[in-house]
Structure 1
Amino acid sequence: MNDPQQVTKSLADTNDAMRGIITAAHKGEFTITPDAGDELIQIFQEIEDWTQDVLRKIDYMKQRTPLGPSPAGEAIARFNQEVAAGDQESFEDMILRIRENTPQVVQAIREGIRLYQETDDGNATNLGKQA
């Protein structure tokens, strides 16, 4: 998985999944048990911390790597810069999108927990009335 295209595709897929959770929660279509939700919240908070660390490292990569004036050195230095911050498919852009979406995903998970509990409470009430 060292191929930059594979890494950026994985990051894009992660971002798409995050957007899917956010969208489903906004529509009231996402429910999750409190235990599972709490675990996911912890994971996404760790992802948010990870993005901060990665963005610091990307800042170093964006600086031109001093590999000398040889054609190979120039090509590698240029490649590092492009991978780090080249365009909308760069590591930096993908990490920034994930960092931006992480708090929204955490909120969506909390909403999913709330909806789950509301549904569960409603079902318990209905069962109690039938007894």
Structure 2
Amino acid sequence: MTGDTRAIGSGLAAQTSQFQQGAQRFVDTAKAGGFGISDNAGKAMLTALHSVLDGLDAARETQRLIQQDTKLGTSPDAQVIIAFNKDVVVGDNSAATSLQGLRDALTQIEAGINEAMRHYRNTDDDNASGVTKASR
């Protein structure tokens, strides 16, 4: 099954791809020291992000249940619908593929947040060190 099922998930796949590209730019900017995030703000962001990741993991469990063959019988029409349903759930342009792409992007963002927190701490330590030297 290729023709119609591609149309079902193609928009979601494109949006997921854009999100992944944005996540990579976020990580690259964080690694380059383009911004910093305080520990308090970073921890709040990570808590929210982990909540979303937990939700995605729960959705993946549900997806495992619905990817089973639909019980429609053995007629040729039923077999076509069974294959179509399965492709919609776990095919190349499926919700499962998009959810995994989203999860991967969020994991990248987590790394970017941690990097930005490290940058913030280093900058804060450097500034504190400069103040201490200046006060001597």
| Partner amino acid, structure 1, of 2:114 | R
| Aligned counterpart in structure 2 of residue 34 of structure 1, from 18, 35, 39 | 39
Is 1:123 equivalent to 2:115 in the alignment?
no
Is 1:21 equivalent to 2:37 in the alignment?
no
Which blocks of at least 5 consecutive residues in structure 1 are unaligned? none
SS in 2 for 1:43: helix
| Aligned counterpart in structure 2 of residue 58 of structure 1, from 56, 59, 63 | 63
C-alpha separation in 1, matches of 2:54 and 2:122: 31
TM (norm. structure 2) is 0.67
| Aligned counterpart in structure 1 of residue 109 of structure 2, from 105, 108, 119 | 105
Aligned to 2:96: 92
| TM-fit CA distance, 1:30 | 4.2
Specify which structure has the bigger relative contact order, considering alpha-carbon pairs within 8 angstroms and separated by 6 or more residues.
2
Which blocks of at least 5 consecutive residues in structure 2 are unaligned? 1-7
| Partner amino acid, structure 2, of 1:85 | V
Is 1:11 equivalent to 2:16 in the alignment?
yes
SS in 2 for 1:65: coil
RMSD between aligned residues:
3.2
TM (norm. structure 1) is 0.69
Structure 1 stretches of at least 4 aligned residues deviating more than 6 Å after TM superposition: none
SS in 2 for 1:64: coil
What percentage of residue pairs aligned between the two structures are identical?
23
Deviates more, 1:55-64 or 1:6-15: 6-15
- The structure whose Rg is larger is 2
CA deviation profile, 1:70-101 (whole Å, cap 9, x unmatched): 85x666543332222111x3222232233345
CA spacing shift, 1:76–1:26, aligned 2, 3 Å: farther
CA deviation profile, 1:31-61 (whole Å, cap 9, x unmatched): 2222321222112211221221111122223
Aligned to 2:52: 47
Q: Is the 8 A contact 2:12 2:98 kept in 1?
A: no
Instruction: Figure out how many residues of one structure are paired with residues of the other and give that number.
Output: 127
